[in-house]
Amino acid sequence: MLLEQTGKFFKTEWKRLLILVVISAVFYLFMYGFIYTVDPEVTETAYKKYGGFILTTLRSIVEFTITYYVLIFVASLPYLRDRRLGKFLLIILVMFALKAAYTFLFEYDKTDFNASNNPQNMRNFMVRNKFMFYSFITLFSYLFHLFVCFVVAIFIDYNNRNKREDELQKQKMDAELSAIKYQINPHFLFNSLSFIYSKTVPLSEEVSNAVLLLSDIMRYALGKEEDAEGKVALFKEVTHMKNVIEINQMRFNNKLSIQYSEQIDNPNARITPLILITLVENAFKHGDLLDPANPLVVRTESDQHRIRFYISNKKKTGPKELSTGIGLNNVKQRLQLMYAGRHTFTVNENEHFYTSELLINL
């Protein structure tokens, strides 16, 4: 399990790690060249104390890469994104403790303040107070690394935000263009549905209710419910989803086996529209919903901190409907753009069942 997680980590993070390795290698080679030019003899003596040039450089590169990766991508970026100050402080304190332990273990005994170019009385004072001076140098070095990492993280976060905004703007323009190409005049559509509803009320309550449901579904799908961030209230998305479930039950004479449950303590939580319904529609399209022993299971939960959605269905047997995967890919892309670093979307599939779970941190 650990080996698998390690492989997955390097598979997803190798580009970031490689950039840090290259930067650190260039930095340490430049520093070595500069120091060697100033005083070759002192440089060679110092490197011999730490195990030689190659070993010291490799150890420094590894230390640099780990330190900067943790401070930038584990501490600073999540803090900038989610304002989790407690977690940020905990990570930098733990990282400082590990870095201090490492330097005291491998470098403290080999550090000789007598070799410095300071006056003799200053060198004597530094030697007598070696622990204090070394601790100060270690702390100052770490704070410098932390400052650099924080500046880099701000730049990365700014760049990522601009990219996400550009991508969202592009998607919005594409969606508006598609709407212009394919839309039916909403007023004509709703007026027609209203006319059909009024004519069917005296004839069939079931048909009139179906028309009313269809009108609500189309109104939500074509309407402008989104706020400035492109999100809607959770209760509106859930209502739309339940309308779709109900009209499908009508289509199949209430023979579909569906278990729906909800615990929504925060109905006004904001969510990207048409995310949940896409997952439900996939279940209707590819699932066997006529087996009472294996019903379609849909669960929606929300509180002040998160939204959780779970759906599981038995797969159809026999010929399968052709699927391009566009709907699911669209869901993943929109989630990544709107909730980068604040959501998990997992899909589990075997021969008989298909399950997906979405968790959004608010």
pLDDT value of residue 6: 78
What are the tens digits of pLDDT across the range 136-163? 888 888 888 888 888 888 888 888 778 7
When pLDDT is cut at 50, 70 and 90, the band that residue 325 belongs to is very low
Output the pTM of the full model.
0.51
Rounded to the nearest 10 degrees, the angle between the axes of helix 130-182 and helix 326-338 is: 130
* CB contact set of 140 (below 8 Å; sequence gap of 6+): none
DSSP 137-173: HHHHHHHHHHHHHHHHHHHHHHHHHHHHHHHHHHHHH
Flag whether pLDDT at 351 surpasses 70.
Answer: yes
CA atoms within 13 A on the CB side of 33: 6
Calculate the average pLDDT of the chain.
78
Contact 352, 89 (CB under 8 A): no
pLDDT value of residue 162: 80
Q: Please write down the long-range contacts of 82-87, taking CB distance under 8 Å and 24 or more positions apart.
A: 82/341, 82/342, 82/361
Report the amino acid identity of residue 41: E
Give the tokens for residue 135. 């601790």
pLDDT value of residue 31: 77
Q: How far apart are CA 24 and CA 30, in angstroms?
A: 10
pLDDT value of residue 127: 64
Lowest mean pLDDT among 6-15, 20-29, 215-224, 250-259: 215-224
What are the CA-CA distances from residue 285 to residues 227, 249, 296, 331 (Å)? Answer: 30, 13, 12, 16
Give the pLDDT mean for 317-345.
72
pLDDT value of residue 322: 42
Domains of the chain: 13-164 (no CATH), 230-361 (3.30.565.10)
Flag whether pLDDT at 357 surpasses 90.
Answer: yes
Give the pLDDT mean for 301-321.
84
Give the pLDDT mean for 82-111.
79
Give the pLDDT mean for 236-249.
87
Give the pLDDT mean for 208-225.
70
CA atoms within 13 A on the CB side of 207: 11
When pLDDT is cut at 50, 70 and 90, the band that residue 225 belongs to is low
Lowest mean pLDDT among 1-10, 200-209, 312-321, 337-346: 200-209
